[in-house]
Amino acid sequence: MLRVAYQGEPGAYSESAAIEYFGVEVETVPCESFDRVFEAVQMDQVERGILPIENSLAGSIHRNYDLLMRHTLWIVGEHDLHVEHCLISHPGVRLSDIRKVISHPQALAQCENHLRAMGDIEIAAEHDTAGSVRLLRAQGDLSVAAIASRRAAEVYGMAVLAENFEDEPANLTRFLIVACTPVKPKRRAKTSIVFTLNNQPGSLFKALSVFALREIDLTKIESRPLVGQPWEYLFYVDFCGSTEEGKVRRALDHLGEYAPMLRVLGSYPRKEAS
Amino acid sequence: MLRVAYQGEPGAYSESAAIEYFGVEVETVPCESFDRVFEAVQMDQVERGILPIENSLAGSIHRNYDLLMRHTLWIVGEHDLHVEHCLISHPGVRLSDIRKVISHPQALAQCENHLRAMGDIEIAAEHDTAGSVRLLRAQGDLSVAAIASRRAAEVYGMAVLAENFEDEPANLTRFLIVACTPVKPKRRAKTSIVFTLNNQPGSLFKALSVFALREIDLTKIESRPLVGQPWEYLFYVDFCGSTEEGKVRRALDHLGEYAPMLRVLGSYPRKEAS
């Protein structure tokens, strides 16, 4: 059975993403931290890792960009998870009984308007969404609710008081699948790279020209600080195409003329448009 | 006297940045949150706000990018603060007496190696660096130390046990100064803008061409999610030059041909190279 490491506790959104992507027969392996997910893959304890890289409301998860650079794993797939927050309580509790809501700070922020509509209640931050449901059950306080996925409610035998509790319905998280060896998709692929540039006028324009001149479509650009070189950057770029295509290989050769450091993080099957 | 709002408590790095930039005669006004700094300026309670926008190790402070977009203030200046962490204790305490160290999580992370060298001690996260020194004094426990600025030690009458406690010496934070009305520097200026692009192949390349073709030097590009439009982005770009220059005005007119939304956040005097 394929083993997939994810960060969080059973019922976490990352676990839901793994099940959506790999199907129900996957064995999901919870990890304490993103670092541990990378390690579990690198040390062959699991075949795959799944990592959130970007949320359509909150932006990039920079820690995972930095960890991709620090490790030598390959990106072998991507998946968009529609994040649907539920308000979760002990069974039999009514909404009007709730005096306190707990969850991860980002989930609380994404439900701000719905929480405000509940009137004078206490809001408290916990380490993660599924973990707050586990805590809810362990503490047994009927006046407390947690915000997490429907799956987290099921895992811990709790009830869903309200669904679609998020303020903005277009709430997607993009996950990357990582492995020790690359895949080589021939078409409908996406490629992720990271590179540095000399700090010269027009350097980023030249770097992007290698894609534009070959009509290669960029889907994402992210800059991260280059440690030890204040105000210089690592650029992470995603584009449509596979390193199996001559056009892409020539673009990367061309980019190598400008980029002191260039690394391909992987070519992988592109998700369907969401 | 010029009043400047900053986020944090007396002794915060943001307050040090305000004093370095405006001089000692400035009146610094502490605020609970970045949001409150924007509000204090907008409501004329202070003349200026000072906000961290980027750290050379940790990257951009995205909350402040988002708040720049949400408010209508102008960027009127920038300043680089060299972040030098001190290990701070009650006076008369020796390093070997310390059993616990408290600070903001980012400061703790930046001192990871030095903390590890202290052996088996407890590490605990607090809301901010200066606040952890205030707590240190209030609690009166001689076995606890805090990580914060030398100024925070002075403000609360505590002692500096060790200075340059950070692992990586090139630790700079770039601050922006914001105000209700713009300044119009004629030369040695920088300009910050934010824009959107249609999701088309080559659109970012075309956008950057308006600068490259006029030899206008980009210093920073940052992408942030466009809420409600998954995987579309707001681009924040800083470049050398002032909107008082014809070349810059023509570049921005040209960018307007590609960008459905384009806003100038301000032209302001450029800091000296650091």
B235 labelled catalytic: no
pLDDT in tens, A190-205: 999 999 999 888 999 9
Which segments in chain B show pLDDT lower than 70? 272-274
From the CA of A97, how many Å to the nearest CA of chain B?
31
pLDDT at A274: 46
Q: Any chain B CB within 8 A of the CB of A220?
A: yes
pLDDT at B180: 98
pLDDT in tens, A19-45: 999 999 999 999 999 999 999 999 999
CA distances from B109 to A62, B59, B149, B168 (A): 15, 14, 15, 11
ipTM of the shown complex: 0.88
Question: Is residue A182 scored above 80 in pLDDT?
Answer: yes
Query: What is the average pLDDT across A203-231?
Result: 94
Note whether B59 contacts A59, CB cutoff 8 Å. no
Q: Which residues of B touch A230 (CB under 8 A)?
A: 56, 80, 170, 172, 274
From the CA of B122, how many Å to the nearest CA of chain A?
19
Burial A121-143 (b: 16+ CB within 10 A, else e): eebeebebbbbbbbbbeeeeebe
Note whether A228 contacts B172, CB cutoff 8 Å. no
Which of A171, A223, A229 best probes binding to B when mutated, by most B CB atoms within 10 angstroms? Answer: A223
Note whether B220 contacts A231, CB cutoff 8 Å. yes
| Among candidate residues A58, A51, A3, the one with its CA nearest the CA of residue A28 | A3
Nearest to B223 among A55, A168, A222 (CB): A222
Interface of A with B in 195-214 (CB under 8 A): 201-202, 204-206, 208-209, 211-212
Residue B257 tokens read as 């041909």
Which amino acid is located at B191 in the chain? T
Which amino acid is located at A232 in the chain? E
Which of B204, B211, B215, B220 best probes binding to A when mutated, by most A CB atoms within 10 angstroms? Answer: B204
pTM: 0.91
CA closest to A231 among chain B residues:
B56
| Among candidate residues B155, B148, B57, B165, the one with its CA nearest the CA of residue B114 | B165
d(CA A34, CA B51): 29
| Among candidate residues A251, A245, A208, A15, the one with its CA nearest the CA of residue B212 | A208
A211 labelled catalytic: no
CB contacts < 8 A (A, B): 101
pLDDT at B273: 57
Note whether B225 contacts A58, CB cutoff 8 Å. yes
d(CA B15, CA B71): 22
Q: Catalytic one among B38, B165, B175, B235?
A: B175
The pLDDT mean for chain A works out to 95
Note whether A201 contacts B221, CB cutoff 8 Å. no
Q: Which residues of A touch B170 (CB under 8 A)?
A: 227-230
Residue B48 tokens read as 């200026």
Nearest to A204 among B62, B216, B218 (CB): B218
Q: Catalytic one among B28, B129, B173, B196?
A: B173
d(CA B191, CA B20): 22
pLDDT > 70 in chain A, percent: 99
pLDDT in tens, A139-167: 999 999 999 999 999 999 999 999 999 99
Instruction: State whether the Cα torsion A204-A210-A215-A217 is positive or negative.
Output: negative
pLDDT at B90: 97
pLDDT in tens, A109-124: 899 899 999 999 999 9
| Residue B148: CA count within 13 A, CB half-sphere | 37
pLDDT at A146: 97
| Among candidate residues A82, A96, A93, the one with its CA nearest the CA of residue A149 | A82
Q: Any chain B CB within 8 A of the CB of A174?
A: yes
User: In chain A, where does DSSP find H-type helix?
Assistant: 13-22, 34-42, 62-70, 105-110, 112-116, 129-139, 150-155, 203-212, 246-256
Question: Is residue A273 scored above 60 in pLDDT?
Answer: no
Nearest to B208 among A80, A174, A204 (CB): A204
